[in-house]
Amino acid sequence: MGKELDKAARLMQIAIQTNTPVFVFDVETEGLDPVKHHIIQLSALKIDPETFEVLDKINVFINPCRPLSDKVKEITGYTDEFLATCPLEVEAFPEIYNFLGEAPLLIGHNVGFDKSMLDALYTRQGQFLFCEDIDTCRMARELLKKKKDVPSHKLIDVAAYYGADIGLDFHKADDDIIATLRIFQVMYDPDAYLKPKKKLNINSIWYHNGFRGHARIYINTDAGSLFYDNLDKNYGSKDFSLDDIDMEDLEEKAIRKWSASNIDDLFQKVRAWHWKKMQEAIGQQKEFANEKEAIEAAAKENKRHYNTSIQLADGVYIVTLEKFLKSKAGSNSILY
C-alpha cells in the first residue's frame, strides 16, 4: 500500500471505532487563490464510515458579489444571474458549519485545494477548521500509476476508469462528490464497487507443451490470447490485464465448449485431443516444386513437433510427416 492508502485505512478505522461520520465534499470557486477568491458552491455527503451509507447531504450556492470570469462560467456552467439570487457567504455559512462542524474528516479529490478554500471561508466567518483529510487523487496515483489506459488522475478520468462516471456532470460539485465517493469505495474496498469487467468471446483453444513440465492451454479471444499453466494453476496474458476481464465467464465458456467439468478437466481434454490430432496427421504429404520450399516446409513441421522426410519423385519434392516427438519442447498450433 502507499502513503495515502495507509492513511485512509487508519483514519477510516478511527472513524469506525469512534462512530464519527465522514464527509465527502467538493467546492466550486471563482478562482484558485483562497485569499482573493471565494466558494460559489459547496456540496457534501455525510457517510457512515463502515457501510458508506449516505446519512445526509447539503448543496449550497453562494453569491460572490462580483462577476465570474468567462473561464469559470465555462467550467461550471453557472452564470452571474443565477448566483445573484443565492445567499451571501455570511448567510450561507451557518448551514455549512452546522453540517460539517469544526473537526470533520474530509474526503475529496485533490482535497488540499478544497480544504484551503473551506479553511479560508471558516476564517472569514470567525471560526477555526480542525480536520483530517483523505485525498482520492493521491490514492489514484498510488493505485493506477502503472495503468496505461488512465490518461490522468483527474476525477473525470479516474471515475471513467472505474466505471463510476455514469449519469454524472463533472465540474458540478454535487455530482463531483458522488464520483468521489464511488472511486473512494473501490480504491478503499475493491469489493464495494467494481468497474464492469469485459466479457470475451473464444475463437479457439490450443495446447502448448513447454519446458520442465510447464504445459499450457492457450485461449484465443477477440481481445487477444491468455493461457492456463498446468503447474502454476494460474492464468496469464501478455495482451491484456486479467483484472479487466470477467474470468469466471470466460472459464465457463471454455469449459462448456469442451463439455469439461472444470478447468483441469478442460486441460486434460485439450491435451489429449492435441496429441490425437498430431498422431492422425502422421503420413500426410505435401508437394513442392523446388527443393528450397520443401526444406523450409520440413523445418517448419519439425519446429511444430514433427519428424519429416523429403523425397524427390517425378520432379516433385514430397514432404511427409513421419512421427511426432512428445519429449521435444514446442507445440503444434492445432486450434479448436
The answer to whether the Cα torsion of 243, 246, 252, 255 is positive or negative is: negative
Out of 3.40.50.300, 3.40.190.170, 3.30.420.10, 3.40.50.720, the CATH code matching 3-188 is 3.30.420.10
This model's pTM is above 0.75: no
Look up cell 476525477; give the residue.
155
Map out the domains of the chain as residue ranges: 3-188, 202-278, 282-324
Let me know if 117 is exposed, middle or buried by CB neighbors in 10 A (0-12, 13-18, 19+).
buried
Buried b (16+ CB within 10 A) or exposed e, 12-51: beebeeeeebbbbbbbbbbbeebeebbbbbbbbbbbebee
> pLDDT by residue (tens digit) across 72-122?
999 989 999 999 999 999 999 999 999 999 999 999 999 999 999 999 999
Instruction: Give the model's pLDDT for residue 333.
Output: 43
By percentage, how much of the chain surpasses pLDDT 70? 91
Instruction: Give the model's pLDDT for residue 301.
Output: 75
